[in-house]
Amino acid sequence: MKKRLAIRGDLLDFTAEPGWGETESAAVRFRPDHWLLIEDGRIAAVQAQAPGADWPRADHAGRLVLPGFVDTHVHSPQLDVIGSYGSELLDWLNTYTFPAERRYADAAVAQQGAALFLDALLAHGTTAAVVFPTVHKVSADALFAAAAERGMRLIAGKVLMDRHAPDGLRDDVVQAEADCRELIARWHGRERLAYAVTVRFAPTSTPAQLAMAGRLCAEDATLYMQTHVAENRDEVRWVRELFPEARSYLDVYARAGLLHGRSVLAHGIWLDDTDRAVLRAAGAQIAHSPSSNLFLGSGLFGWREAEAAGAAVTLASDVGGGTSLSMLRTMADAYKVQAMAHQRLTAWKALHAATRGAARALALEHEIGSLEAGRMADLCVWDWAAGPVAERRMEVARGLHEKVFAWLTLGDERCLVAAYVNGVQRHRR
């Protein structure tokens, strides 16, 4: 007997990538008052008519149903330092982040932290993520195990850092390679988990460690790679000093063989045209993290330039540099960052980047990111408004784009009613 569930609501997703400035877009698929039928964790059908009496129902008529959000760059141990006052990247890492990450050497701390983090993602409507735990193997084990328990799609890997980090947070090339290989064997491709070779950033890895990371990627094209690039001007200057032979910060990774179709690079604010062409040729993506970029004063990302050059752009919270796990808040911040560059980010472009666009950039389009038969039933049910201001705004909104744009600008996790992973309700308000 198949496990069934029928969810009723206003279904919103995308069939293609919306263009810049298009508030009316053929890529948007809005199916108001439809039923989404789930069988054994997958979407079986979407239909206007109610299913037969043999279908258990979750009737969310009048509510929005979206694919679960994909956060393409977030740090699980940094919930402990979210909202820390007053510094830019390098100082922030030393003052707040590294001390917090050191605690994850303890398996019990890592397990508790992983559970809290993943439940928090779900409570914000994020059902899939690309995650940095810490340098400690136990932190990656704890995160993968907790994701497996929840049936979540998760991409992660032990952080590599063998220099310029305090005691208790450094590995070395030999041990790191052994740990990576062990973790890959244990988790990569198991259930909905995938391993990412995780270089923290160029300054905290020796050339020998970067080369080792590149070899791992070369050996198995199904591995992901995640890192940070060109986030902060002092950081960029430091990388230039550390790697004088490289043409640019991005080139450090290119030379090590770390750029490929499954590379996820956070930030990319201070890239040039050659870098963007390199990203395009590699098929790598930038995980744009607007909340973090504003909070740490890192700079304003040129989304339009990156995309014009053919580089894929996805959206990320980058907690704890970012100040919220909410992809609604992330999208609202992305809009404001683009507004500073006199660009207009439509609700469609933002939502696409947080769902189907991310799925495509991660080569997971067959599994997540849209409400289509055959996809895994990772989806969320949202109220259109939380509180009297948003309620009033919804009453007077005209047209779908205006309504959805106001929703993502005014909304946050208070709007989330339920989150489903594999068709199983994993969060309920």
* 240: Cβ contacts below 8 Å, ≥ 6 apart: 246, 249
CB of 236 to ligand GUN, least distance (A): 12
- What sign does the CA torsion over 251, 257, 261, 267 have? negative
Determine, following the binding rule CB under 6 A, whether residue 117 of this chain makes contact with ligand GUN: no
Among 34, 63, 75, 360, binds ligand GUN (CB under 6 A): 75
Determine, following the binding rule CB under 6 A, whether residue 60 of this chain makes contact with ligand GUN: no
> Of ligand GUN, Zn ion, none, which one sits near residue 89, judging by CB under 5 to 8 A according to partner kind?
ligand GUN
Question: In the complex, which residue's CB is closest to ligand GUN?
Answer: 321
For Zn ion, give the closer residue by CB, 270 or 405: 270
> Of Zn ion, ligand GUN, none, which one sits near residue 306, judging by CB under 5 to 8 A according to partner kind?
none
For ligand GUN, give the closer residue by CB, 227 or 326: 227
Number of residues that bind Zn ion (CB under 5 A): 2
Number of residues that bind ligand GUN (CB under 6 A): 11
> Of Zn ion, ligand GUN, none, which one sits near residue 93, judging by CB under 5 to 8 A according to partner kind?
ligand GUN
Place of tokens 């045209």: 273
For Zn ion, give the closer residue by CB, 318 or 333: 318
Mutual orientation of helices 400-410 and 388-396 as an angle, nearest 10°? 170
Place of tokens 């996805």: 314
For ligand GUN, give the closer residue by CB, 14 or 249: 249
Query: For 428, left (φ over 0), alpha (ψ -120 to 50), or beta?
Result: beta
> Of ligand GUN, Zn ion, none, which one sits near residue 201, judging by CB under 5 to 8 A according to partner kind?
ligand GUN
Determine, following the binding rule CB under 6 A, whether residue 318 of this chain makes contact with ligand GUN: yes
CA distance 320 to 326: 12
CA distance 367 to 365: 5
CB of 287 to ligand GUN, least distance (A): 10
Determine, following the binding rule CB under 6 A, whether residue 89 of this chain makes contact with ligand GUN: yes
**Tokens representing 26?**
């053929």
For ligand GUN, give the closer residue by CB, 96 or 335: 96
Backbone angles phi, psi at 276, to 5 degrees: -65, -35
3-state secondary structure labels for all residues of 78-110:
HHHCCCCCCCCHHHHHHHHHHHHHHHHHCHHHH
Altogether, the residues listed in the chain come to a count of 429
**Closest Cα to residue 217, out of 198, 192, 245?**
198
Beta bridge partners, 66, equal: 380
Q: Helix or strand or coil: residue 261?
A: coil
For Zn ion, give the closer residue by CB, 10 or 318: 318
Q: Answer yes or no: are the C-beta atoms of 330 and 315 closer than 8 Å.
A: yes
Among 111, 209, 292, 324, binds ligand GUN (CB under 6 A): 292
Kindly write out the interface string for residues 251-290 of this chain, putting x where it contacts Zn ion by CB under 5 A and - elsewhere.
---------------x------------------------
Cα–chain-centroid distance for residue 313? 11
Task: Return the range that interacts with ligand GUN (CB under 6 A); candidates 79-87, 89-97, 303-311, 351-359.
Answer: 89-97
> Of ligand GUN, Zn ion, none, which one sits near residue 231, judging by CB under 5 to 8 A according to partner kind?
ligand GUN
CA distance 45 to 311: 33
Question: In the complex, which residue's CB is closest to Zn ion?
Answer: 318
Determine, following the binding rule CB under 6 A, whether residue 43 of this chain makes contact with ligand GUN: no
Q: Which of residues 313-332 bind Zn ion (CB under 5 A)?
A: 318
- What sign does the CA torsion over 169, 173, 178, 184 have? positive
Kindly write out the interface string for residues 195-224 of this chain, putting x where it contacts ligand GUN by CB under 6 A and - elsewhere.
-----xx-----------------------
> Of ligand GUN, Zn ion, none, which one sits near residue 184, judging by CB under 5 to 8 A according to partner kind?
none
C-alpha distance across the termini of the chain, in Å? 29
* 12: Cβ contacts below 8 Å, ≥ 6 apart: 28, 29, 30, 31, 64, 65, 66, 351, 371, 404
Determine, following the binding rule CB under 6 A, whether residue 321 of this chain makes contact with ligand GUN: yes
Give the interface with ligand GUN as residue ranges (CB under 6 A).
Answer: 75, 89, 93, 97, 200-201, 228, 231, 292, 318, 321
Residues near Zn ion (CB under 5 A): 266, 318
